[in-house]
Chains A and B, each alone.
Chain A
């Protein structure tokens, strides 16, 4: 037997393309967030609230990732902003190449903020760098307060936590303070927002924070 020693990251090909994406984003002065969560936690609803809040005061572009259908892109297109739907045909996450393929559909120089809404999945998207500035993880009060402990990888790799569906917390026996404490056990550096897309709670704070970040990345 002969042995070839190979010290290479398995996902280095993805990481190479992510580096290219990051260069494109930087050249365009674009702040890019990778929005991740379980299915049904409200990623698209938070995005609708966000885009609606900014109106014409910030130029937002959106990449939607889903296993099937362009339903999410249709929801975002109603706001008359650039949006591309990536359909993974069952694939459980977006990778850097899929995002790279979608970029020519945009005039990135016109955008301040690109939101990539990943496939609803708290496991796989944690492993794939898309070239984003940061991951934003959403967990909703209806999912169970222990979610961060069960899916630590995603909370570890994210910079921001949005606790969504705050208005439902009393009805589903959720304690948002426990969700936050559990998330901070995984990642003490998480920036946290509490939102409700029904009452608009926390949306202005989240959006103004986003706006402040876009200024840091603008060229």
Chain B
């Protein structure tokens, strides 16, 4: 269950980027999660809801983008996707591959509801 501490790290980063009085306007927090990152998306979503409940972030949700595990073979140059995280090239069987994607655990974006009109500075003509 290290998803709980990962959810805490995500909340920390959100708080660094959003002013305290704007936290309640956060609607979604985009995070890239690689298939081979060791993170279970459902557990991460559950953990995020658990730790934001009763806080200004309670109305926000995690928007997880799952990134497939893909390797490229250095022998035959072909790419193969392998959910098991095995670096074997599925085309020629070589282990001489490089990991292209699937290890990500990265913040992407924070989506906020726009401020109510009384909080917005009027646009200059």
When chains A and B are docked, how far (Å) is the Cα of A152 from the Cα of B102?
12
When chains A and B are docked, how far (Å) is the Cα of A5 from the Cα of B32?
12
A52 to chain B, nearest CB (A): 33
A43 to chain B, nearest CB (A): 18
Does A7 sit at the interface, judged by CB under 8 A? yes
Contact with A1, one of B5, B17, B27, B108 (Cβ below 8 angstroms): B27
A1-33 CB mask vs B (1 if < 8 Å, else 0) is: 111111111110110000000000000000000
When chains A and B are docked, how far (Å) is the Cα of A92 from the Cα of B27?
30
Interface of A toward B, CB cutoff 8 Å: 1-11, 13-14, 91-93, 95, 123-124, 126-128, 149, 152-153, 156, 184-188
Given contacts A7-B107, A93-B2, A185-B88, contact A13 B9 (CB under 8 A): yes
Interface of B toward A, CB cutoff 8 Å: 1-2, 5-6, 9-10, 12-13, 17-18, 27, 31, 36-39, 84-88, 95-96, 105-114
Chain A residues near B39: list those with CB within 8 A.
Answer: 127
Contact call A3/B105, Cβ cutoff below 8 A: no
Contact call A13/B85, Cβ cutoff below 8 A: no
Contact call B17/A91, Cβ cutoff below 8 A: no
When chains A and B are docked, how far (Å) is the Cα of A123 from the Cα of B2?
9
When chains A and B are docked, how far (Å) is the Cα of A22 from the Cα of B73?
33
When chains A and B are docked, how far (Å) is the Cα of A14 from the Cα of B6?
10
Given contacts A4-B17, A92-B1, contact A186 B85 (CB under 8 A): yes
Q: How many A-B residue pairs have CB under 8 A?
A: 92
Contact call A185/B86, Cβ cutoff below 8 A: yes
Contact with B113, one of A1, A14, A126 (Cβ below 8 angstroms): A1
Chain A residues near B9: list those with CB within 8 A.
Answer: 10-11, 13-14
Could you list 11 further interchain pairs (A-B, Cβ under 8 angstroms) beyond the known A4-B110, A11-B9? A3-B111, A9-B106, A10-B9, A10-B106, A13-B9, A95-B5, A127-B37, A127-B39, A152-B36, A184-B95, A188-B87
When chains A and B are docked, how far (Å) is the Cα of A3 from the Cα of B30?
10
Q: List 29 A-B contacts (CB under 8 A).
A: A5-B108, A5-B109, A6-B13, A6-B107, A7-B107, A7-B108, A8-B13, A9-B107, A10-B6, A10-B13, A10-B105, A10-B106, A13-B9, A14-B9, A92-B1, A92-B2, A123-B2, A123-B38, A124-B2, A126-B38, A127-B2, A127-B105, A149-B84, A152-B36, A152-B84, A153-B36, A153-B37, A185-B87, A188-B96
Contact call A8/B107, Cβ cutoff below 8 A: yes
Chain B residues near A185: list those with CB within 8 A.
Answer: 86-88, 95
Contact call B106/A124, Cβ cutoff below 8 A: no
